[in-house]
Structure 1
Amino acid sequence: MPDHSCASARIVGVGQTPYEKRSDKAIQRLIFEAADAALTSAGLAMRQVDGIALTCFILPPDNVTTVAEHFGIEARFLFQGVYGGASSIIGMMHAARAIRDGDAEVVLCVAADSFDVASHNQTLDNFNGSVRDYMSPFGFGGANGMFALHTRLYMERNGARREDFGKLAISQRENALQNPNALFKVPLTLDDYLNARQIADPLRLYDCVLPCVGADCVVMVSEKLARTLPGPKVRIAAGGEYHNFPAEDVYSLSAGWEGLSGRMYERAGLGPKDMHFAQLYDDYPVMEFIQLEGLQISPKGRTHEWIRAHDVTYRGDFPINTGGGQLSAGQAGAAGGMIGVVEAVTQLRGEAGARQVDCRRGLVSGYGMVAYGRGLSTSAAILERVD
């Protein structure tokens, strides 16, 4: 039977700021602009908001409570994500349960950051104790160095080639060219990909995200309120989170999606073949491979063969990251965990313009809290249009 712990809430609005390489705007301003756009999309006013689920790396010493103060919101529900790129989906599920239980009526689920390459690297050097104490002092190369090892291991263990990762990156760039808010505006060829500047062998330039400035937001409301609002509605059919999986096995090429996906599908009353797209957390192509396997879309260890057999552009048989993802639209820090949600909701509402796919439901996933050699936190959800 379908699970109803999250499904009674409705996503009724979506907003995103322009993605930029740099900006002088305060982080509170970016959060406000994304929230304001999402509320306008929903036909709601800021005074109606009584909950916030927020993720932002650079917000301290402020926090979600002081953001509520800045915006004049009397909040009954607050959530601050501490799970990196997995936080936004986790925050949405917490918000949905608060709405179900009558603890909130209108919740902003928002993520934002303002990074360039230098500030991003500085943040990662002090991301948590294990990175600060045992990796940064030895010039570990940041996340690029970590995920170069994952990429090399996947290639050596399973027989994947750089061309397989390249096909995914090139397809996402093709998607991004139809997204006016994507930072990358020119096509990516296989030759460009294979011969780009080396970053951390075997990773090259187009395997790595471009840190940037931006904010993303969706508005969640009660089913009762949703019925009074115009525009398409989306619900969370089911979702889940999983942390530190598998324990004590840093380079297993497994992650928490393996632990959560079976229960998620069972609770939704759906399966992988019922999905019309996937918006994956794409900090590196290899982690998209791991997500596709953990979410039961592709066979374990054979995703490179699956990629060769499928068209994952917005025109294809299984679209992935239809707005370009972080690899071609940009990674605005913590907003990297919300960009896929915003794209999924935009697609399900039929508002994606030239990159619109024929869809009723799809997957979103999150990944974050990089520690000693891997991300510790995973999340995923099935989003479905409600007619």
Structure 2
Amino acid sequence: MSSNGFDRVLIAAGVEVPYRRQPTHGSTGELLAQAFGLLLAQSGFSAKDIDGLGVASFTLGPDHAIDLAWRLGLSPRWCMDDCHGGASGINLLQHAVRAIQHGDANVIALVSGDQFQASDFTHLVENYNLTTRTWLRPLQNGGPNSVFAMLTQRHAKRHGLTRADYGAMCVAQREWAAMNPNAVYRAPMSIDDYLAAPLVADPLGRFDCVPVVNGANAILLTRDDLAHNATNVRVRALKCLYNADHQAGDGLETSLKHVAADLWRQAGIGPEDIDLASVYDDYPVMTIAQLCDLGFAPDGDIRALIRRIASHALPVNTSGGQLSVGQAGAAGGMHGLVEAITQLQGKAGERQVDNAKLAVVSGYGMVEYRFGMCANAVVLERT
């Protein structure tokens, strides 16, 4: 086994069913099946080759991964449900790599996505977990917007940032989205547009809050000797840490702070070597927090980091991120992975990062009552 421990496994494809603001006809299961079909078409595999299936979804219920496998005509040797929200994509990836390495499966499809009716989203927000249902719903707190508004206030005060600083990142991501035909929101947005947007929960305005959409993503992993494509992607390093502070911290640091050194050591590179980053971006403040935790502001100069992002000197969330593409429920945990895979395979079209060879992707999510409990990151390389 190679020194980084991820040999013999390739990521052959990553796809996205274009996100839509309004629900389409059909069920979440049909949406995931559409992603599965696109995955087969891009990877060159057939359904009979797939012997592993992982699923992340909030609205697939009462069905589970095994029900979806049956509907897709699969007889998997490895099957996994995941419910880790923004961390689900990398969590599934970690388990799928190990399953292939240890012979539990040879070709694994990972699918994620949701289709929300208005009542579905309301039910999810009000019953996200027992804590939310018991303590927050009676307060009519409005869901995560109010929680992350307080966190943004704390972050801005600590680092001396203004709304315009956070807005510079939103504008930069909209510039990337303008080059992504699958992005839901592509219209040009200036910093004045950002600042003029209605406040949702001070200091968060409309463009700070991730828009809810419907869609799905999927990636395919295979044993390396079975791959059909000339250009594939390999995991170079992967680290996860969940519930690091038991909700006793201030939320301005994620678990990535504790695993970053090991991540870069395992990868054999540093943040300065990365060609692009896909960071889970439900709110701009969390994009900054994750990048800082990963070491992209080693001198603590957050404004310099923001300038690099705004100028595209550091390509961050090159799809437009969820803030412009939208958050399709659990698909949000895989969206950044699919974008990184697309970039590393040279398939990103107008937004393609020149000579992209190395990417870092982070996941974040599963708010208990103050902030996310889960954070993970993976370094990917083009083969």
User: CA contact under 8 A between 1:164 and 1:307: conserved in structure 2?
Assistant: yes
Question: How much does 1:249 deviate?
Answer: 2.1
Structure 2 CA distance for aligned equivalents of residues 239 and 169 of structure 1: 27
Query: Paired residue for 1:234?
Result: 233
Query: Paired residue for 1:77?
Result: 78
Deviations 1:344-375 (CA, angstroms, capped at 9, x unpaired): 00000000000000210111111111111101
Structure 2 CA distance for aligned equivalents of residues 12 and 26 of structure 1: 27
Structure 1 CA distance for aligned equivalents of residues 288 and 231 of structure 2: 32
Structure 1 CA distance for aligned equivalents of residues 279 and 162 of structure 2: 20
Query: Paired residue for 1:98?
Result: 99
Query: Paired residue for 1:218?
Result: 219
Return structure 1 stretches of 4+ with deviation > 4 angstroms.
none
Alignment of 1:70-149 (within 5 A): 70-115=71-116, 119-149=120-150
Structure 1 CA distance for aligned equivalents of residues 303 and 26 of structure 2: 41
Code of the residue aligned with 1:279 in structure 2: it is S
Question: How much does 1:28 deviate?
Answer: 1.0
Structure 2 CA distance for aligned equivalents of residues 118 and 61 of structure 1: 16
Residues 1:334 and 2:308 aligned together: no
Q: Residues 247 and 302 from structure 1, CA distance in 2 versus in 1: closer, same or farther, beyond 3 angstroms? A: farther
Question: How much does 1:195 deviate?
Answer: 1.2
> Secondary structure of the equivalent of 1:17?
strand
Query: Paired residue for 1:260?
Result: 259
User: CA contact under 8 A between 2:114 and 2:215: conserved in structure 1?
Assistant: yes
User: CA contact under 8 A between 1:27 and 1:114: conserved in structure 2?
Assistant: yes
Question: How much does 1:60 deviate?
Answer: 1.4
Question: How much does 1:163 deviate?
Answer: 0.8
Residues 1:366 and 2:363 aligned together: yes
What TM-score, normalized to structure 2?
0.96
User: CA contact under 8 A between 2:82 and 2:88: conserved in structure 1?
Assistant: yes
Q: Residues 178 and 118 from structure 1, CA distance in 2 versus in 1: closer, same or farther, beyond 3 angstroms? A: farther
Query: Paired residue for 1:378?
Result: 375
User: CA contact under 8 A between 1:176 and 1:329: conserved in structure 2?
Assistant: yes
Structure 1 CA distance for aligned equivalents of residues 146 and 300 of structure 2: 22
RMSD value, Cα: 1.5
Alignment of 1:166-205 (within 5 A): 166-205=167-206
Identity %: 38
User: CA contact under 8 A between 1:117 and 1:210: conserved in structure 2?
Assistant: no
Query: Paired residue for 2:207?
Result: 206
Query: Paired residue for 1:13?
Result: 13
What TM-score, normalized to structure 1?
0.95
Q: Residues 286 and 152 from structure 1, CA distance in 2 versus in 1: closer, same or farther, beyond 3 angstroms? A: same
User: CA contact under 8 A between 1:76 and 1:104: conserved in structure 2?
Assistant: yes
Please list every run of 5 or more consecutive structure 2 residues that lacks an aligned counterpart in the other structure: none
Please list every run of 5 or more consecutive structure 1 residues that lacks an aligned counterpart in the other structure: none
Question: How much does 1:82 deviate?
Answer: 1.9
> Secondary structure of the equivalent of 2:18?
coil
Structure 2 CA distance for aligned equivalents of residues 13 and 281 of structure 1: 20
Code of the residue aligned with 1:290 in structure 2: it is A
User: CA contact under 8 A between 2:278 and 2:362: conserved in structure 1?
Assistant: yes
Residues 1:269 and 2:268 aligned together: yes
Deviations 1:72-116 (CA, angstroms, capped at 9, x unpaired): 111111121121110111101110111011111110111100125
Structure 2 CA distance for aligned equivalents of residues 7 and 93 of structure 1: 13
Deviations 1:6-54 (CA, angstroms, capped at 9, x unpaired): 3431011122112111212211111111111111111111111010121
Query: Paired residue for 2:297?
Result: 298
